[in-house]
Amino acid sequence: MILVRSLPGFVLLLFLLAGCGSTPASNLASDAGLIKEGVSTKNDVLTYLGDPSAQQTLSSRSERWVYYQEYRSNFRRVPWVGDSLGSEGYDRIVVSFTDDVVSDIVYSAYNSKDDDWADDFSWQNNQQ
């Protein structure tokens, strides 16, 4: 009888614990710090970042690789209210090569909460 009463609690606990699990993901910002201009090669970049999201050949000696990673807060998955919770955005790294050696690397990021400051000022409503 105790097993029957505790079964719903056990199932609830199981669902709660399953919701805490996540898949490991790389952090593009920290991985970008491993790449050194003029030193790192294409093989180094492949080792640190894996296959690029996009590639562009600029000339016979130069190439550009783009790494793009979107993220979404787990709170965004909550039904009905998820869009007002958490944040979403992306990280991007653009790696340029000349003769298979890194000649430039640019990291950029965007978070949907970055623009929230624009709604914090009362003067916006008083514009004439």
The CATH number linked to 88 is: 3.30.1450
Task: For residue 24, name the pLDDT band (cuts at 50, 70, 90).
Answer: very low
Q: Does the residue 2 lie in any domain? A: no
Q: How many domains does the chain have?
A: 1
CA distance linking residue 34 with residue 28, whole number of Å: 10
Rounded Cα distance, 67 and 27, in Å: 11
Decide if 95 is inside a domain: yes
**Any domain includes 63:** yes
- 55 inside domain: yes
Q: Which two tokens stand for residue 88?
A: 């979403």
Query: What's the per-residue H, E or C state across 86-108?
Result: CCEEEEEEEEEEECCEEEEEEEE
Q: How confident is the model at residue 117 (pLDDT cuts 50, 70, 90)?
A: low
Q: Is the pTM of this model over 0.75?
A: no
Residue-level pLDDT at 86: 63
Residue 85 within any structural domain of the chain: yes
Quick check: is 117 in a domain? no
Distances (CA, A) of 80 to 18, 52, 66, 87, 94: 21, 35, 35, 15, 36
Does 69 fall in a domain?
Answer: yes
Q: Render pLDDT for 97-109 as a digit per residue (tens, 0 to 9).
A: 999 999 999 998 8
**Which residue's entry shows tokens 């640019």?**
106
Whether 20 maps to a domain, the answer reads: no
pLDDT > 60? residue 17 = no
Residue span of the structural domain in which 54 resides: 26-111
